[in-house]
Amino acid sequence: MQTQFVLDDVVTVIGPDGVADPATDPKLPGETVVKLFKHMLLTRQLDERLVLLQRQGRIGFHIGSLGEEACILGPAAALGGDDWLWPCYREFGALLLRGMPMQTYLDNMYGNANDAVKGRQMPDHYSGRPYKFGSVSSPIGTQITQAVGFSWAAKMKGDKSVSLVFFGEGATSSSEFHNGMNFAGVYKTPTVFLCRNNGWAISVPADQQTASQTFAQKAFAYGMTAVRADGNDLLAMVKVTRDAIERGRNGEGPTLIEALTHRLSGHSTSDDPKAYRNEAEMKAEREKDPVPRLRAYLVGLGLWDDAQESAWAEQVDGEIKRAVETAEKTAAPALHTMFEDVYATQPWHLAEQQAEAERAPRPAGHGGGGGH
């Protein structure tokens, strides 16, 4: 498998004319692609709204996926119902696709009393156990080793589930990447490593993360299958992830996928890319946007038109508005929740500190987080 890998090979399905290459086409039913395209539009619409809410000071932070929707939703769509997804922090679109209601996500953005993580983390640090979706933390790469451990446990127990773990190209510089890849290689765990190479780790370009020609080739050192794919092509991402999941399920071990994509925004709402990006380059990247790419494919097949798109946008807009309104009206978590879940049962010192907090004057809260 490894010897077939050619550095210049990038799996692509949808050509510039919007037509799928029959050699690589995952041949999804038209209605499935429409559903995924609608979800892609929803993800982007929500993304843009969240940036606006942050600019208005209504939420503290947002870390979005503008331009990376195809390589987040494609892999998520390739997962089976028993498979697990271990997020980095840009995968809210995948979380919604896996079934988290919009309201639950917005409650997380507001850190309110209905937030699944009880307002304990910054916005976009969600947790989705009911959707077989991990818990987000900020340290880079830690989820990689955990996903390997999880899928290793599944393999030990004879469970056929596969774990898909997301990370950016910057995370390949972390010790966690090495640890996870190495353990996965040695124990042939059913893990799919999904490296979204969006070109930038905050302000540091990909060529300063590695002297390797590609990120994918790092897999060879771990005795692992590697593949590069056009990360702006949703069908290509479905195809390569589906193949990798299949290999994992069949006991053929892990795969590293390098998805080539572009970050069409700053790192997060706390970042201003003008300091390190040039406009011409960004303009060229916007022309490779995954949304028009998939739209052209669907329009070509007669499965999508402008009327459908504007009706969908209106529907999503209403849904977002209602969820925002409800999230804003929901109270902050009660003070005592700060002292719960540190341990399974509350030890004496936390009971004391909770009592102390309950006696203390309440400061004016900000109800949202800062950012990085």
Partner 1 sequence: MPQMNMVQAVNDALRLELKRDPRVVLLGEDIGKVGGVFRVTQDLQKEFGPDRVIDTPLSEGGIIGAAIGMALYGLHPVPEIQFSDFIFPAFDQIVSELAKFRYRSGGEFPAKMVIRTPVGGGIRGGHYHSQSPEAYFIHTPGLKVVCPSNPYDAKGLLLASLRDPDPVLFFEPKRVYRAARSEVPEGDYTVPLSQAKVVRPGQHVTVLAWGAMLYEAIEAANQAAALGVDSEVIDLRTLWPVDIDTIIASVKKTGRVVVVHEAPKTCGFGAELIALINEKAFLHLEAPPVRVTGYDTPFPYTLEMDYLPLAGRILPALVETARY
Block residue for tokens 């969006």: 198
Amino acid at 261: T
CA distance linking residue 62 with residue 59, whole number of Å: 8
Kindly write out the interface string for residues 131-150 of this chain, putting x where it contacts partner 1 by CB under 8 A and - elsewhere: ---xx-x-x--x-xxxxxxx
Exactly one of 49, 125, 267, 293 binds partner 1 (CB under 8 A); that residue is 125
Return the residue of 26, 67, 168, 180 that touches partner 1, per CB under 8 A.
180
Question: Catalytic: 349?
Answer: no
Residue 162 and residue 343: Cα distance in Å, rounded?
A: 30
Residue 278 burial (CB count, 10 A):
9
**Which of the stretches 2-10, 34-42, 68-76, 177-185 binds partner 1 when contact is defined by CB under 8 A?**
177-185
178 belongs to the catalytic site? no
217 token code pair: 């080739």
CA distance 51 to 253: 39
Cβ–Cβ under 8 Å, residues 199 and 168: no
Q: Is 182 in the site for partner 1 (CB under 8 A)?
A: yes
Cβ proximity to partner 1, 120 vs 277, nearer residue: 120
- Which segments of 43-178 are extended strands (E)? 84-86, 127-128, 133-135, 163-168
Taking CB under 8 A as the rule, does residue 114 contact partner 1? no
Catalytic residue among 44, 247, 267, 293: 267
> Is-contact 250 222, C-beta < 8 A?
no
Q: Which listed residue (276, 286, 336, 366) is catalytic?
A: 276
Q: Which of 47, 68, 83, 115 binds partner 1 (CB under 8 A)?
A: 115
Binding site for partner 1 (CB under 8 A): 115-118, 120-121, 125, 127-129, 134-135, 137, 139, 142, 144-154, 156-157, 175-176, 178-180, 182-183, 186, 340-344, 347-349
User: Catalytic residue positions?
Assistant: 263, 267, 276
